[in-house]
Structure 1
């Protein structure tokens, strides 16, 4: 198997910049999720690797050899599409085999179809037409077609987007081990941050055609490179407040809704100035007891979310935050007056001018 290298790749359509200096590598057997909002260039990147479009700048290498300009069938790339893209007049068996017919004998094709369909648990529907398949079976058929040629690079364009929630959850558990068996370098496009975190070894976050962070899932969540990345991960989204941190005898602190709160003692070089303070709803503690670092608030609304309850809190200055509480936590009622705390090390600071994260909280160092 071979490594995929994307070197300074750029692509434009008129004034629209779809890819802007993208550079990263995917090792054999590694799964990299390409994540970002709609229009950030995720699918365009896959299409350039597959040969549907050529980059305007940069190079794409598989196994150290450039594939730019090579025909799609010579690139060693397999691709599964979001809408499955099965041939409606072919059985599942023939859909899976279609990519191999011109390159292998019928006997070899038949044995490969049998092997891959057994692996994906669709051997019982090989004789069915696409209209007779469930969405889950269509998804597995499309994946089998992409995998059957033992590609060096496997491109998956949001393959779980059109399947039901139950199957999506099951496939999040099954896909990582299944994909690693192929030993291909895998690029997995998704707009679901949970999916990216569950499936990928690393996440490449794209915003506006640019790679803004590439790291392990836990690091992207705990140490987002910017406010834009922080907002993309988490449900409910991260709470943000405009602050101007100051260093005093008690260390770094900031004024939040009229209350002075301590921030962590990690590396905060450059934190003295206009910043965004970010605290995830899961890191908030809601209590009826006042004390140091406790911010007075009023409960505006409570939304039960099965495994937790989400509280909409309003501070004295009119700003609002969300808190996500565990099911066994004492939950206040709407219109109750409460106090909000967070551990200093759970706070994130971002430079207000650039949006980039300042420092690294001690508790959240990657292993």
Structure 2
């Protein structure tokens, strides 16, 4: 008896998730090009996908971290120290790349942009204060507001407290972790539809024409991010693994950066990154902490944005920037970037803190922030893609270097 030939939908469902996302990407571009009036009608698909990721991410991180620590065997390494070192060095290197690019290709801005709302922090101490206060936030409030520093702090505390709990309690925590992970897996299966809606809505936005007026500064920012993604990060991976870094780099760009580019939120991409780490066979004790932590403090893209926009403002006002001050700016931008919230546009309100190094008035600085929001449709997407994919790259490189175990980079 002959079996029925599979339908087009069945053949589509048999494809890998990445292949399905690619199809969604292509269809979204086609819709924006040939039927731009219909893009807003599918935007709901993208909004629902981002909302689902943001909703499940805090619960996933809390349960996963608590379960990982509660079941951690004494003496088993977590490899967090090399991951944190890579986070620090990677962010600083990105800021230095931005300084160098801004000196080679100096850019200026037309400072007549409208004012924007928001209150920038008063300095590095204010950023650090906010981070410390976030760590001791009420746990329910931290979950509701997706405050991942607070979520991590409470999850670690609960996990440590449950280290000596009964095996039944620890098994229940593991079962809860598996259940939440299953929900996340279901949400991620809708990524092709979500990407389709996000791409169509983004490309159908009439505000894209406004980017032409700031094309040069946008090219410098995106160029720096591409250089970090394709040159600097591979150098760090090669330093740790002493092998060809690009299979890992391209896997993370394909599986993490692609979704982050359109969600424009490191926090929303946490479930995607956790699933990728699990697929690559990394130690859960490491990635359960390093991925949500990286979404908060590993911000190479943010360091680039802050540095380039600040130096562009200085060049516009005719302020001479010497090498020592530029190096100080890169350090300030790196620490400031660590305080960026994992949401769209999070790095822009830190620009006034950096421009204060050059005596630029707050009014002018907020005009620079406004320009940042104009170009954010591309800048923030590229920034988030770099930030989020780097979390997985550095976690994987540190784990593989410490354990010597091969990474599973299978495309399936």
TM-score normalised by length of structure 1:
0.23
Higher strand proportion, which one? 1
Larger radius of gyration: 1
Higher helix proportion, which one? 2
